[in-house]
C-alpha cells in the first residue's frame, strides 16, 4: 500500500500541464473584456430583438407604400448580418412592393440588396446572377459604390471558399479589380482612405496600410467601419508577424461585432485559432463554440464552413486537457481519502462535479456526431458546386469558340460580298436553337452524372399514375424544372430564364407536379431537394 501511494504521489507531481504564453497587459485586458461580452451575448441579442420588434410595429402602423418600402429596407439591413433568412424575406417583400410604386430609380438598388444577402448566405452564383442584371450606367455615385462593394465582397468570399489555388488567385484578382473601381468613384475621403489602405495591404505595402488605418481610427465615428478598420489592422499585423497586435485587433473587432449583435463575422473564429496556437485551449474552445452558434443562427454558410474546418482540432485538444484534468482530480480524491474524515465534504463535492463533467462530455459527443454529419453534407455540396463550376467554365470556353467561328463565317460572307447569304445567316435562328439544344443536352448529362438515381427517386414521390418518363440520358421539361430545384434554384424567375419559358408556364408546371405528389403537396419541393 505504501508503494502504491508513493506511485500516485509521483504521478500527481509529474502530471504534465498545458502551458501557454502570457500575453501583454493590453491583450490580456481586451481578452477579458471579450470574455465578459460573450457571457452577456444573450442580453445583446435580447436588445436586438426589441429593436427589430419596434420596426415591425412601425411596419404594421405604416399607412403608405413608401413608408412600408423604407421600413422593409431598414429590416433588411438590421437582419443582414444577424439572421440572413429574414433579411432575404424582407428584401423580397421590398421587391414585390416596388413593382406597384412606379419607382424605376430603385430597381437596381434592390437587386444589389438581394445579391448582398445571397452572398452572406453562401449562394455566390445566385448573387452574381443578380448583379449581372444591374446596369451600372444608370446608377448614381452612392449606389454605384455599393454595387462595386458587393461585387468585391462576392469575389472575396469565392476566393475564401474555393480550394483551387489557380481559381482562388483568379477570384482575388477580380475582387481587387472591383476594389479599384470603388476607389475610382468614392468621394468621401474617409471611405476612400479605408479602401486605399486595404488596397495597399493587398499590394504588400503593409506599413503604409497600417499608418493610414491608425490615423482613421481616431477620426471615424461609425462603429461598423471601426470594426472593419480593426479587422484590416489585424490582417496587416499578421503579415508582419506581430501576433500580440494581431490578437489585440481581432479581439477589438469581435467586441464591436458582438455588441452590435452581428452574427456573420470572421474575427472570433480567427482569434480562436491564434489563441489556440498560444496555448489557451479553454478560450479557443469558447470562442469557436460562440462562432459556430452565431454562424448557424445567421445561416452564414462560409463562416460555418470556416469554423467546422478548425473545430475538430481544438475540440480534440480540449478533450485531452479535460482528460488530464480528470486524472488530476481522481488522484487528488484518492490521496485525500487517506488524510481524514474532515475532508469528506470536499471529496463529495469533487464527486458531484465529476458527474457533471461526464454529462457534459456525453452532450459534447452528441454534438460532435451532429457536426460530423453536417460536415459530410457540406463536403458533398462543395463537390457538386465544384463540378458544376468546372463544367460551366468549360461550356463558356466552348461557346466563345463557337461564337468566334460563327463570326469568321459571317466575315467571310461579308468579304465575298455575298450580302443575301449574309442577311440569311443573320436572320436565321437555327444557330441559337442548336446551341440551346446542345446546352440542355449537356445540362442533362452533367446532372444525371451527379444524380444518377434522380429520375426513379423523383417518381417515387409521385402517385402511381403520375410517373414522369423521358428518353435515356435526357430530362424532359418537368424533370429539368425539378432538377434545378434540386440544385437550389427555387426562384421561378430564375427557372423561367434558364429554360426560356414564361413565368406562367413554370408556375403551371410546378403546381401540376405538386398536385400529382404522393404525399403532402406543400412539402413536395422540400422532398425533391433531399433526393
Please report the DSSP string for 310-361 in residue order: HHHHHHHHHHHHHHHHHHHHHHHHHHHTTT-GGGHHHHHHHHHHHHHHHHHH
Q: What whole-number distance in Å separates Cα of residue 260 and Cα of residue 227?
A: 10
**pLDDT of 117 over the 70 cut:** yes
Chain segment 436-456, per-residue pLDDT in tens: 888 888 888 888 888 889 999
Average pLDDT over residues 98-105: 79
Please report, for the chain, the start and end positions of each structural domain, with discontinuous segments joined by +. 25-259, 429-528
pLDDT band at 77 (very low <50, low <70, confident <90, very high): very high
In angstroms, rounded to a whole number, what is the distance separating the alpha carbons of residues 473 and 447?
A: 10
**Is residue 331 a contact partner of residue 11, using CB atoms and an 8 Å limit?**
yes
- Return the closest-CA partner of residue 471 out of 501, 441, 498: 441
**Which among 249, 250, 318, 307 is positioned nearest to 283, based on CA atoms?**
318
Task: Mark 227-243 as b/e (b = at least 16 C-beta within 10 Å).
Answer: bbbbbbbbbbbbeeeeb
Query: SS3 string of 233-245?
Result: HHHHHHHHCCHHH
Of all helices (H) and strands (E), which one includes residue 16?
A: none
DSSP 462: B
The pLDDT tens digits of the residues spanning 249-300 come to 999 999 999 999 999 888 999 999 999 888 888 998 899 899 889 989 998 8
More confident residue, 397 or 428: 428
pLDDT of residue 19: 39
Helix, strand and coil percent figures for the chain, each rounded to 5? 80, 0, 20
- Superfamily holding 25-259: Tetratricopeptide repeat domain (1.25.40.10)
Q: Are the beta carbons of 119 and 157 closer than 8 angstroms?
A: yes
Alpha-carbon distance values, 182 to 141, 147, 156, 403, 430 (Å): 10, 9, 14, 32, 42
In contact, 109 and 143? CB cutoff 8 Å: yes
Tens digit of pLDDT for each residue in 298-313? 988 778 787 777 667 7
CB of 201 within 8 A of CB of 209?
yes
Residue 46: half-sphere exposure toward Cβ, Cα within 13 Å: 4
Q: Are 186 and 192 in contact (CB under 8 A)?
A: yes
Average pLDDT over residues 320-343: 58
Phi, psi of 517 (to 5 degrees): -65, 145
Beta carbons within 8 Å of 275's beta carbon, 6+ residues apart? 31, 247, 283, 284, 287
pLDDT of 2 over the 70 cut: no
d(C-alpha 200, C-alpha 227), whole Å = 19
- Whole-structure pTM value: 0.57
- The grid coordinates listed for 33 are 473584456
| 124 vs 243: CA distance, rounded Å | 32
CA dist., res. 358 & res. 362, Å (int): 6
Residue 69: CA atoms inside 13 Å, Cβ hemisphere, count? 16
Beta strands in 370-428 (DSSP E): none
- Among 13-22, 134-143, 461-470, the minimum mean pLDDT is found in 13-22
* Tens digit of each residue's pLDDT (9 = 90 or more) over 369-418: 765 765 555 556 566 666 666 666 566 656 666 777 777 777 777 787 77
More confident residue, 459 or 220: 459
* Contact criterion met (CB below 8 Å) for 461 and 517: yes
Residue 508 gets which letter from DSSP? H
Q: How far, in Å, CA of 148 to CA of 138, rounded?
A: 14
Per-residue pLDDT band at 13 (split at 50, 70, 90): very low
Of residues 330 and 118, the one with the higher pLDDT is 118
Q: Rounded CA gap, 57 and 51, in Å? A: 10
The pLDDT mean for the chain works out to 82
CA distance 483 to 208: 51
Q: Among 153, 158, 215, which Cα is nearest to 179's?
A: 153
d(C-alpha 191, C-alpha 222), whole Å: 11
* Number of alpha carbons in the 13 Å side-chain half-sphere of residue 45: 13
Highest mean pLDDT among 21-35, 191-205, 233-247, 380-394: 233-247
Confidence of residue 154 (pLDDT cuts 50, 70, 90): very high
- pLDDT value of residue 306: 76
Asked if residue 161 lies in contact with residue 305, where contact means CB atoms within 8 angstroms, the answer is yes
Cβ atoms of residues 213 and 201 within 8 Å: no
Instruction: Please report the pLDDT score of residue 12 as a whole number.
Output: 41
What's the CA gap between 130 and 133, in Å, rounded?
Answer: 5
Asked if residue 64 lies in contact with residue 80, where contact means CB atoms within 8 angstroms, the answer is no
Amino acid at each position: 500500500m505504501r508503494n502504491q501511494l508513493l506511485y500516485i504521489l509521483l504521478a500527481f507531481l509529474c502530471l504534465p500541464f498545458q502551458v501557454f504564453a502570457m500575453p501583454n497587459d493590453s491583450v490580456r485586458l481586451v481578452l477579458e473584456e471579450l470574455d465578459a461580452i460573450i457571457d452577456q451575448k444573450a442580453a445583446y441579442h435580447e436588445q436586438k430583438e426589441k429593436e427589430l420588434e419596434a420596426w415591425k410595429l412601425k411596419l404594421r402602423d405604416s399607412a403608405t407604400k413608401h413608408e412600408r418600402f423604407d421600413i422593409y429596407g431598414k429590416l433588411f439591413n438590421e437582419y443582414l448580418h444577424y439572421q440572413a433568412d429574414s433579411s432575404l424575406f424582407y428584401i423580397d417583400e421590398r421587391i414585390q412592393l416596388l413593382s406597384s410604386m412606379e419607382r424605376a430609380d430603385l430597381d437596381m438598388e434592390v437587386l444589389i440588396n438581394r445579391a448582398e444577402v445571397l452572398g452572406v448566405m453562401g449562394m455566390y452564383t445566385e448573387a452574381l446572377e443578380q448583379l449581372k442584371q444591374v446596369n451600372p450606367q444608370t446608377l448614381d455615385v452612392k449606389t454605384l459604390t455599393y454595387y462595386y462593394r458587393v461585387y468585391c465582397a462576392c469575389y472575396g468570399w469565392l476566393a475564401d471558399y474555393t480550394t483551387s489555388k489557380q481559381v482562388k488567385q483568379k477570384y482575388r484578382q477580380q475582387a481587387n479589380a472591383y476594389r479599384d473601381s470603388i476607389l475610382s468613384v468614392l468621394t468621401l475621403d474617409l471611405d476612400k482612405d479605408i479602401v486605399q489602405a486595404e488596397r495597399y495591404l493587398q499590394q504588400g505595402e503593409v506599413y503604409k496600410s497600417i499608418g493610414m488605418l491608425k490615423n482613421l481610427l481616431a477620426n471615424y465615428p461609425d462603429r461598423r467601419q471601426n470594426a472593419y478598420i480593426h479587422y484590416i489592422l489585424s490582417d496587416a499585423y499578421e503579415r508582419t508577424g506581430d501576433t500580440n497586435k494581431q490578437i489585440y485587433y481581432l479581439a477589438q473587432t469581435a467586441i464591436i461585432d458582438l455588441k452590435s449583435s452581428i452574427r456573420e463575422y470572421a474575427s472570433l473564429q480567427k482569434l480562436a485559432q491564434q489563441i489556440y496556437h498560444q496555448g489557451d485551449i479553454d478560450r479557443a474552445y469558447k470562442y469557436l463554440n460562440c462562432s459556430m452558434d452565431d454562424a448557424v443562427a445567421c445561416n452564414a454558410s462560409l463562416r460555418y464552413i470556416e469554423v467546422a474546418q478548425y473545430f475538430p482540432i481544438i475540440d480534440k485538444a480540449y478533450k485531452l486537457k479535460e482528460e488530464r484534468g480528470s486524472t488530476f482530480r481522481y488522484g487528488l480524491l484518492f490521496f485525500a481519502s487517506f488524510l481524514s474524515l474532515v475532508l469528506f465534504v470536499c471529496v463529495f463535492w469533487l464527486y458531484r462535479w465529476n458527474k457533471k463533467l461526464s454529462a457534459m462530455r456525453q452532450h459534447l459527443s452528441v454534438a460532435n456526431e451532429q457536426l460530423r454529419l453536417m460536415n459530410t453534407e457540406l463536403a458533398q455540396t462543395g463537390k457538386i458546386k465544384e463540378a458544376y463550376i468546372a463544367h460551366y467554365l468549360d461550356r463558356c470556353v466552348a461557346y466563345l469558340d463557337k461564337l468566334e467561328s460563327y463570326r469568321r463565317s459571317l466575315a467571310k460572307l461579308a468579304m465575298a460580298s455575298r450580302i443575301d447569304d449574309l442577311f440569311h445567316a443573320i436572320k436565321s435562328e437555327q444557330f441559337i436553337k442548336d446551341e440551346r439544344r446542345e446546352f440542355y443536352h449537356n445540362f442533362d448529362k452533367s446532372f444525371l452524372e451527379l444524380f444518377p438515381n434522380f429520375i426513379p427517386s423523383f417518381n417515387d414521390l409521385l402517385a402511381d399514375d403520375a410517373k414522369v418518363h423521358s428518353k435515356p440520358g435526357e430530362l424532359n421539361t418537368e424533370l429539368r424544372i425539378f432538377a434545378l430545384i434540386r440544385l437550389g434554384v427555387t426562384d421561378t424567375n430564375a427557372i423561367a430564364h434558364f429554360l426560356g419559358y414564361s413565368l406562367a408556364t413554370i408556375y403551371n408546371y410546378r403546381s401540376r407536379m405538386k398536385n400529382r405528389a404522393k404525399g403532402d403537396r406543400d412539402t413536395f419541393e422540400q422532398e425533391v431537394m433531399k433526393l
